[in-house]
Amino acid sequence: MRVLVVEDARSLADVLVEGLRDQGMAVDVAYDGLEAAAKLDVNAYDVVVLDRDLPGIHGDTLCQMVVARDDRVMVLMLTAAAAPGDRVGGLVLGADDYLAKPFHFPELVLRIRALARRRPAAPARVLRAGGIELDPLRRTATRDGKQLDLSVKEFALLEALLDASPAFRSAEELLEQVWDEHADPFTNTVAVTIGRLRRKLGEPPAITTTPGVGYRVIEHPSDR
């Protein structure tokens, strides 16, 4: 899941980015509306966490811009304006959810994940392929019924592969979806994490690699 946090209070924005990355999300940040609009033009996001009172382009205007896009991105307004009228106004603008500051961080995480599941063409709640079953909401993954002990990045990488199955995901696509805009496109991070994931998935091999194409989960007889 890729998230854009748009918040002009840098200390809060940085805390949110760090916390959401710890939850396995690929997170970018923009500190004003103009920067956010530029990032929305070049990156594909599942959810935008949007402060309403922004410099550059106001949050209300940015929300309308996001809603008007063809590749529908879910919007969670995160703002100090907490009166009922403010919440209604935000939803009228097209926001999909509205959370007032101060907020409880675990609630923010749950709301972001709920919005990602509601996004048009979002993947099924539980992903299955190759004898693997992954539940993004409960943060659990098993293979042939055996619980997998995965790191945050390993879980996110497996989720991206299962979401694409039976198609391939290129290293570039995985880098974009699982890491963030600061990831070095020439790094071997994807290959290293794939290697760790393969070892944890055990035998028989669950992930195949085709040079120049990418990675995919090997089909299981029950997938056919």
What DSSP string runs through 46-63? Answer: SEEEE-SS-SSS-HHHHH
- Residue pLDDT, tens place only, 134-166: 998 788 999 999 999 999 999 999 999 998 888
> In the chain, where does DSSP find H-type helix?
10-22, 33-42, 59-67, 84-92, 105-118, 152-164, 171-178, 189-201
- Domain at 95, CATH number: 3.40.50.2300
> What pLDDT is attached to residue 122?
58
> What pLDDT is attached to residue 87?
61
Of the two residues 182 and 128, the one the predictor is more confident about is: 128
Domain interval for residue 219 = 127-223
Residues 156, 66 share a domain: no
Residues 157, 107 share a domain: no
Token representation of residue 146 = 């055996």
Q: What is the average pLDDT value for the chain, to the nearest integer?
A: 87
Q: Work out the average pLDDT over 105-128.
A: 84
Do 115 and 20 contact (CB within 8 A), yes or no?
A: no
Residues 70, 21 share a domain: yes
Residues 108, 7 share a domain: yes
Sign of CA dihedral 15, 189, 155, 129: positive
> What pLDDT is attached to residue 137?
77
Residues 49, 18 share a domain: yes
Residues 137, 89 share a domain: no
- Residue pLDDT, tens place only, 51-110: 988 999 999 999 999 988 877 899 999 887 656 566 666 566 888 998 988 899 999 999
Q: DSSP 3-state helix, strand, coil percentages of the chain (rounded to 5)? A: 40, 20, 40
